[in-house]
Structure 1
């Protein structure tokens, strides 16, 4: 198994960050081959999703999450910025990990699919993402 942690700057706003280029670079730095890629975000307030980006779906995802998880004072978890409790519920909806099949050193994503970091937490501007490749 080969593993690497990358740092992603998310800033101080809700965001969806496409990780596909970083994933391609990680896989290209190895020996190729077939296997499974694990993408894991070790944070209690972020998740990993496969969606289309650049055509509005990333913005639509954030809008849907705002509808499902409003940033208000209803949350029991109250430290951090206003409404921060919702950020701790996010990984229950957008999982903190994903496994992607890899064939011949390339992730087997569909034409419009991208692996993305989803971060609604405005309090932490940098996120770690662990990429681990298990050769088959």
Structure 2
């Protein structure tokens, strides 16, 4: 049994789903581990991680609009230290995921045909997000 740990830095231009599947594929391939379990963990409280549709952009746009309706920006939140998108970003992160577990086989994450790995940026401003990556296997 072997394991490897690292970090991916994902630059985001602002709100939305930002695919970083290619970076994950490169990182996993570089470990030399053929079979195991990959864990991804975003080290922030105002963004999240998703495995989502990567073929039809409309599916991502619909998801973004739905989440914006669920946790809208407004001046009604007590926590607004960094502006009106501050608390909604925390709410959106709370109802999505901050970590993912993905099986690895044949040296690559086991993803479906239309699945991609995304960082879901919930803030309007550009950010550099840090994602911890850990792979255990053989």
**Structure 2 length normalisation: TM-score?**
0.91
**Is this contact kept in 2: 1:78–1:84, CA < 8 A?**
yes
Aligned to 1:27: 28
Aligned to 1:73: 75
RMSD: 1.4
**Is this contact kept in 1: 2:15–2:125, CA < 8 A?**
no
In 2, the alpha carbon distance for the partners of 1:98 and 1:74 equals 32
Within a 5 Å distance, the mapping from 1:29-68 to structure 2 comes to: 29-55=30-56, 56-68=58-70
With 17-26 and 52-61 compared, the bigger mean Cα shift is at: 52-61
**Is this contact kept in 1: 2:53–2:116, CA < 8 A?**
yes
In 1, the alpha carbon distance for the partners of 2:83 and 2:125 equals 7
**Structure 1 length normalisation: TM-score?**
0.92
In 1, the alpha carbon distance for the partners of 2:76 and 2:86 equals 10
In 2, the alpha carbon distance for the partners of 1:127 and 1:80 equals 17
Structure 1: tracts of 5 or more residues without a match:
none
* SS of structure 2 residue aligned to 1:44: coil
What whole-Å deviation, never above 9, does each CA across 1:50-92 have from its counterpart, x for those lacking one? 1112412221211111110101112221111223111111222
Within a 5 Å distance, the mapping from 1:74-113 to structure 2 comes to: 74-113=76-115
Larger helix fraction of residues: 2
In 1, the alpha carbon distance for the partners of 2:84 and 2:66 equals 19
Structure 2: tracts of 5 or more residues without a match:
none
In 2, the alpha carbon distance for the partners of 1:15 and 1:97 equals 17
